[in-house]
Amino acid sequence: MHRDLNNGSLANVPAWGPHAERNAPGASGWHYKDARPFRYESDDDRDPMPDEMSVDWALDHLHALSDDDRSLLMVGFAKPHTPLYVPQEHFDRFPIDSVALPPYLENDLDDCAPTLQNRWQWG
């Protein structure tokens, strides 16, 4: 069975070999930029995803403002870009057998750039 490495449950984060020059995850799975490995025991016992860390930081910053502060805070998010790994509950909401893809032309990519035609398997 082909495994799509672009998405899945956090319980199935793929293990990767070392690839230091691209700051990619190491053999035990994902790593943060500071080289700490992503820890996953269960959906309720895991390290936060980078976007969750950004939300927490932004909320802390906003809560620290006084009522008189006038600020504009912009926060960037990595998602919805691949890889799309999320807690299993999000997949359970939409069982794959109930998802219908829209119609498409079989040769729809023929006039696209090679980058789109030969999509890299890991996102």
Q: Domain-by-domain residue ranges, the chain? A: 7-95
Three-class SS of residue 48? coil
Give pLDDT tens digits for 85-97. Answer: 888 898 899 888 9
Q: What is the mean pLDDT of the chain?
A: 79
First CA to last CA distance, the chain:
19
Q: Which residues contact 26 (CB under 8 A, 6 or more apart)?
A: 16, 17, 18, 19, 37
- In this structure, how many other beta carbons lie within 10 angstroms of the beta carbon of residue 85? 21
What is the mean pLDDT of the segment spanning 19-28?
Answer: 47
How many angstroms separate the CA atoms of 53 and 36, rounded?
14
Q: Report, as an integer, the average pLDDT of 44-58.
A: 92
pLDDT band at 65 (very low <50, low <70, confident <90, very high): very high
Residue entry with tokens 């999000």: 90
Q: What is the pTM of this model?
A: 0.64
